[in-house]
């Protein structure tokens, strides 16, 4: 480990905000992931809920995130926000415009980081579990995660968050659109946002009648307006209840699984020049090994690479 | 078959490198003070995005304090300010001071907007890397940012203040 990284980790542990910011950059790029993960230890006793806000583009995720920050600061809670926006598939660049809609007054209790997210990654940035760990280890009380404008299939957020809030708005389409929405099946809370607009009550009625047909647990449905502030307090109470609920504790093992996934992807990147790995991927692409075999061989390869001391946690 | 594999290998190598989140420039774009003209800054934001940079758009009505906080929390390489109100000789010195106080002197600052040419040298003296006036081709800004890499965003530069 280089001296500068050690210093950085040391400063991070001493709650130096600049060090946190730098480590987030390194982790988002996939650099030094295992060292950073090891540095960001969170006491098991302290639960720091990760609350995901998701929904289609323009539904008001950033605005609602901004309002939640204000509400949480009034309750004296320290808030960290990770806001994801899409990366251009052509240039790789990104226009990150989420914090534009959030409070701007500098405040030690608020940290906002914008992240770009490549297509096909389920509406969130890479290496997110490491970023979340870094923020949790820094002493924030709540972490808000805003996804890119997401649609119907991006259910991967369920694995990352303790509480999933799915935003919809009035006049989204007829009730068949609700039937299709996969996020409705995995979220804890559905917010009918912009509830000051006409049609909010109708949307709620449609949603309720649809969800009552499902066999699984029914999410909490709330009408919220960021414009008037109505429903905000109820939303926070619902988030707290969901964070304390049984299923979050039951899913705790997933966190371990997530860490293992991060270790494996970090090793995959470290090994990108490895001849055996290149050969395996080439064989798979050429159709010479089937997917199951290739996957098993890949796991073996990544694990045997553990002999390299740099890649061990 | 052999040749086919070889080609695949090359393509794989390229693909893996490009997904490895190489050091993409991060730039905060902001308008400071009471100035509502944001057409220019939005055009620049789009051009830099199209050039492959990560543009953090902080938008209108920022204060010097909020801009510096944004640069710190976003770990940006560059700060781009757009000022059309005539207040640049008040706002820019304040921002440069705050950046220094926050240990962010390694962040590059560029300024655009309506700035009298007689003020260009004064801004440069304050530490502004470059002033771009009206009519600047977008390529010129992109080229300038690429040709003046900032040191701080590597792991090596990460430890120093």
ipTM for the complex?
0.79
The verdict on A103 touching B (C-beta cutoff 8 Å) is: no
Given a contact cutoff of 8 angstroms between Cβ atoms, the answer to whether A23 and A114 are in contact is: no
Per-residue pLDDT of chain A (313 residues; tens, 9 = 90+): 677 899 999 999 999 999 999 999 999 888 888 888 888 877 666 778 999 998 888 899 999 999 999 999 999 999 999 998 888 877 878 888 888 888 888 899 999 999 988 755 555 667 888 899 899 999 999 999 998 876 545 667 777 788 999 999 888 766 666 656 667 777 899 999 999 999 999 989 988 888 888 777 789 999 999 999 999 999 999 999 998 886 655 556 666 776 677 777 777 877 777 888 888 889 988 888 888 889 899 988 888 865 544 444 4
What tokens appear for A116 in the block? 């770009």
pTM of the model: 0.80
- CA dihedral (A227, A231, A237, A243) positive or negative: negative
Q: Which of residues 42-101 of B touch A (CB under 8 A)?
A: 45-46, 48-59, 61-63, 65-66, 68-70, 72-75
- Domain-wise residue ranges, chain B: 25-147
Distance CA A209, CA A206 (A): 5
**C-alpha atoms less than 13 angstroms from C-alpha of A251 in its C-beta half-sphere:** 15
So what's the pLDDT on residue B98? 97
So what's the pLDDT on residue A155? 64
Beta bridge partners of A167: A55, A191
Q: Among B20, B158, B160, select the one facing A5 at the smallest CB separation.
A: B158
- Measured between beta carbons, which residues in chain B are less than 8 angstroms from residue A111? 73
Residues 6+ apart with CB under 8 A from A201: A223
The verdict on A86 touching B (C-beta cutoff 8 Å) is: no
Given CATH 3.40.50.280, say whether it is the number of domain B25-147: yes
So what's the pLDDT on residue B59? 85
So what's the pLDDT on residue A174? 63
For residues B87 and A126, the model is more confident at B87
Instruction: Inspect the interface and report whether the beta carbons of A91 and B50 lie closer than 8 Å.
Output: yes
């Amino acid at each position: 480990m280089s001296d500068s990284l050690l210093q950085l980790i040391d400063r991070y542990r001493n709650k130096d905000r600049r060090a946190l910011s730098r480590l987030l950059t390194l982790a988002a790029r996939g650099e030094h992931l295992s060292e950073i993960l090891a540095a960001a230890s969170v006491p098991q006793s302290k639960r720091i809920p990760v609350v995901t806000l998701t929904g289609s583009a323009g539904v008001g995720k950033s605005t609602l995130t901004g309002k939640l920050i204000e509400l949480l600061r009034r309750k004296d809670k320290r808030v960290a926000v990770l806001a994801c926006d899409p990366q251009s598939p052509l240039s790789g660049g990104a226009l990150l415009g989420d914090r534009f809609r959030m409070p701007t007054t500098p405040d030690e209790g608020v940290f906002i980081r914008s992240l770009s997210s490549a297509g096909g990654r389920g509406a969130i940035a890479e290496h997110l579990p490491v970023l979340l760990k870094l923020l949790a280890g820094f002493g924030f009380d709540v972490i808000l995660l805003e996804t890119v404008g997401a649609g119907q299939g991006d259910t991967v957020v369920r694995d990352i968050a303790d509480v999933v809030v799915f935003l919809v708005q009035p006049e989204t389409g007829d009730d068949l659109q609700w039937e299709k929405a996969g996020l409705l099946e995995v979220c804890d809370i559905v917010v009918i946002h912009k509830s000051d607009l006409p049609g909010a009550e109708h949307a709620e009625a449609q949603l309720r009648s649809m969800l009552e047909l499902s066999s699984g647990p029914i999410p909490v449905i709330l009408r919220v307006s960021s414009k008037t502030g109505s429903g905000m307090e109820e939303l926070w109470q619902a988030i707290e209840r969901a964070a304390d609920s049984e299923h979050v504790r039951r899913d705790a093992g997933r966190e371990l699984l997530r860490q293992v996934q991060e270790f494996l992807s970090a090793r995959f990147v470290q090994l990108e020049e490895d001849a055996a790995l290149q050969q395996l991927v080439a064989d798979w692409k050429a159709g010479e090994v089937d997917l199951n075999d290739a996957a098993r061989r890949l796991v073996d390869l990544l694990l045997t690479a553990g002999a390299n001391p740099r890649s061990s946690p | 078959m052999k040749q086919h594999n070889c080609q695949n290998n090359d393509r794989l190598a390229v693909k893996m490198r490009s997904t490895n989140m190489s050091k993409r420039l991060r730039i905060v774009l902001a308008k400071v003070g009471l100035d509502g003209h944001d057409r220019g800054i939005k055009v620049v934001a789009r051009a830099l995005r199209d050039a492959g940079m990560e543009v953090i758009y902080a938008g209108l009505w920022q204060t010097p304090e909020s801009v510096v906080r944004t640069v710190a929390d976003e770990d940006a390489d560059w700060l781009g300010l757009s000022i059309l109100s005539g207040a640049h000789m008040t706002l820019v010195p304040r921002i440069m001071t705050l950046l220094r106080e926050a240990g962010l002197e390694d962040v590059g600052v560029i300024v655009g907007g309506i700035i009298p040419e007689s003020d260009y040298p004064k801004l440069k003296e304050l530490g502004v890397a470059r002033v771009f006036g009206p009519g600047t081709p977008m390529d010129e800004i992109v080229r300038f940012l690429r040709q003046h890499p900032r040191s701080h965003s590597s792991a090596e530069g990460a430890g120093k203040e």
